[in-house]
Chains A and B, each alone.
Chain A
Amino acid sequence: MGILVDKNSKVIVQGMTGSEGAKHSRAMKDFGTQVVAGVTPGKGGQDFEGWPIYNSVAEAKEKHGANVSIIFVPPAGAADAVLEAAHAGIPLIVLITEGVPTVDMMRAVQEVKQLDAESKAKGGQGVRLIGGNCPGLVTNGQAKVGIMPNRIYEKPGRIGLISRSGTLTYESAKLLNDAGMGTSTTVGIGGDPVIGTTFADVLPMFEADPDTDAVVLIGEIGGADEEAAAEYIAQNMKKPVVAFISGRSAPAGKRMGHAGAIIMGDVGTPESKLAAFKKANVPVADTMPEIIDLVKKALNQ
């Protein structure tokens, strides 16, 4: 099973005809994802490597029954692309684009949340945004809606993975594979300050997923998402969670690549995150390979 996406997900690609969109559409197809169509305003009616291209998300959704959209639109139009998908009634929107202005994201995230609440109030399935500046998500052996390397996610495993970082997600998935455990679903939530889905949003899905036995959470400095996750785990989770925090030696006030990875004053320090996880009895790995030892230990208890 896994969470959020599976072999029945019907995926459209906003920005399919751009170089990144094209490359990753092919890779997703190779993985086995049902990529059904592309959306590029102005190119509607064209055929792109066998995929039909539409001018709007609404049209693509209507023709193909799409229920997931992945966005590769450049930064200046990315938030607008999110809103188009949300208003078209796509329940799961994955924003890969890096470098979207924060103010655009504030407005888009707020509107998506309002649409989500309205949809749920009417008995609909809601609207969820993942990202931006994220690698996307993948349920092993079923569907990849993202940009991660395929071969690490082919074999189904039973560990859920959530991460703010792209490459560390690949690295931890490979470590879990090599240790014979493997991942169920991997969700990259993104490295920007304002994102659609946080750790605390994903944790309940893994808690409810019968194919996930434990969760690995890859956090980093900046913000208080890890602290919120720790509180959620302490109060609500029965499945074990193992954490890792990247950037523990980073100096305050310097932005470490990710716009969200910055210590400002007392907010976002590794000390605060370590203390929160300790309080929640969540073991924190000092190194990536230690994640494996801690997961094994947690599963044996």
Chain B
Amino acid sequence: MKLHEYQGKEVLRQYGVNVQDGKVATTPEEVQAIYKEYGQPVVVKAQVHVGGRGKAGGVKFSSSEEKAVENAKNILGMDIKGLTVNKVLVTKAVDIDAGTEYYVGMIVDRNVQSYTLMASAEGGMEIEEVAAATPEKIIKHRVDPVTGLRPYEAREVAIKAGFKGNLNKIADMMVKMSKAAFERDAVLVEINPLFVDADGTPLALDTKFEIDDNAMYRHKDVAHYRELAAEHPLEIEASEYGFAYVKLDDGNVGVLGNGAGIVMTSLDVVNRAGAKPANFLDIGGGAKADVVYNAVKLVSKDPDVKSIFINIFGGITRADEVAKGVIKALEDGILTKPVRMRIAGTAEDEAKALLNEKNSDLIKMYPTMFEAAEEAAKDANAAGGK
């Protein structure tokens, strides 16, 4: 679960990280009130789950009350990479020139089977850009998952990265960030910029925080951070059914299958057939007719979807159950788009018999995934899909 900047700051504050104060607003009037309270220049920052907010015009320095209101009006309701800005964070502006901006972050790194701590004196930039242009400027360090980051390690990394200022305080902030990462099951945590003022004191100006979905059961106190409005409506519905579902941009073929690997490969096959997958949907193993029915219902609701490609390799999943689910969707009038299926394995013949009996042009079975994908692509492209 991705957290907004203000939510990530709340989590880090719980661990004692010196975080820059700010207040959340949803209207220009609230922004005005916050400006009055602070009585000094502020920064109005869009709270959306995408990178590159600044470049998109979602982060604005506001030197006066009027400017703050004007910026709030522009930013609230703004569309950034397909997401609407409903909230802004208003923070006191900091004189960046009176200090230095650094970067620290921790990320789950499968290559070291733990977190990797990253630190760079090139703060304020996206770390991906630093990594691309000057990878030598990023210091990396494996954090032991049992001990967590210890102060001496943090100091070592800070020194290697060329951080100036109060080393003990900076290292302390890194240690607290590490504690937050382990205890809050972070997939990723970043403090960027980590601002060090003229006195050498560190302050977290901006943060990124993402929590491992598999660990959400032990973080119920922050479950309310999840904003359904920030997610695609079909993704919300899919999570209610317990499906692994990802909406994909610019697609026209709905894709569903049993298993993450087979669905990923199905996306590749649809692409190869000259169409674009509109979603990723894994129905899991051993799905019965009702699960398939719900999956078909979900995918059919997507207006981008012009045809549906179902790819099942039946082991525990029975092909006739899949066929029954699809047929029921047709009978209930839910299914109005052509379904092209490849169902190999258990009860394949029974499935074929059921479909033959139904004899509908809307549902067809093919012997290989390529043929099914090609037919689905043909149908989708003919229907004027994107």
Contact = CB atoms under 8 A, between A and B. Distances in A.
Interface of A: 75-76, 99-104, 106-107, 109-111, 147-149, 152, 163-171, 174, 191, 193-195, 218, 220-225, 228, 246-251, 254-261, 264-266, 286-289
Given A102-B214, A174-B344, A247-B265, A256 B280 contact: yes
A147 B259 CA distance: 13
Interface in B111-164: 111, 113-115, 127-128, 131-132, 144-146
Given A147-B316, A168-B259, A261-B260, 7 more contacts: A110-B114, A166-B285, A169-B261, A174-B344, A249-B267, A254-B248, A258-B260
A124 to B, nearest CB: 22
14 contacts: A75-B214, A101-B212, A102-B214, A106-B108, A165-B262, A166-B285, A167-B315, A218-B261, A220-B261, A222-B110, A224-B110, A247-B268, A251-B248, A289-B368
A101 B248 CA distance: 26
B222 to A, nearest CB: 15
A166 B114 contact: no
Interface of B: 107-108, 110-111, 113-115, 127-128, 131-132, 144-146, 182, 185, 187, 212-215, 217-218, 244, 246, 248-249, 257-265, 267-272, 277, 280, 282, 285, 313, 315-316, 344-346, 368-370
A101 B185 contact: yes
Contacts of B265: 168, 246-247, 288
Nearest to B109: A193
Given A167-B258, A257-B282, A266-B132, A110 B145 contact: yes
A248 B240 CA distance: 28
> What 8 A-B pairs are tightest by C-beta distance, nearest first?
A165-B261, A257-B260, A167-B259, A149-B315, A101-B215, A106-B145, A247-B264, A168-B261
A101 to B, nearest CB: 4
B249 A191 contact: no
B113 A109 contact: yes
Given A149-B315, A174-B344, A246-B265, A100 B260 contact: no
A194 B282 CA distance: 21
A104 B146 CA distance: 10
B346 A149 contact: yes
Main secondary structure of the interface of A (DSSP, over half): loop
Contacts of A261: 260, 264
A19 to B, nearest CB: 11
Contacts of A152: 315
A256 B246 contact: yes
A249 B114 contact: no
Contact of B261 (A99, A148, A166, A174): A166
Contact of A102 (B127, B187, B368): B187
Nearest to B211: A101
Contacts of A149: 315-316, 345-346
A256 B260 contact: yes
Contact of A246 (B111, B261, B345, B370): B261
Contacts of B368: 289
A257 B262 CA distance: 10
Contacts of A264: 107
A103 B184 CA distance: 9
Contacts of A223: 110-111
Contact of B111 (A163, A224, A287): A224
A76 B216 CA distance: 11
Residue among B131, B144, B187, B264 with the most chain A CB within 10 A?
Answer: B264
B147 to A, nearest CB: 10
A103 B182 CA distance: 7
Residue among A110, A248, A249 with the most chain B CB within 10 A?
Answer: A249
A257 B264 contact: yes
A95 to B, nearest CB: 13
A165 B129 CA distance: 32
A261 B261 CA distance: 9
Residue among B218, B248, B315 with the most chain A CB within 10 A?
Answer: B315
Contacts of B244: 257
Nearest to A164: B261
Nearest to A218: B261
A171 B313 contact: yes
Contacts of A111: 146
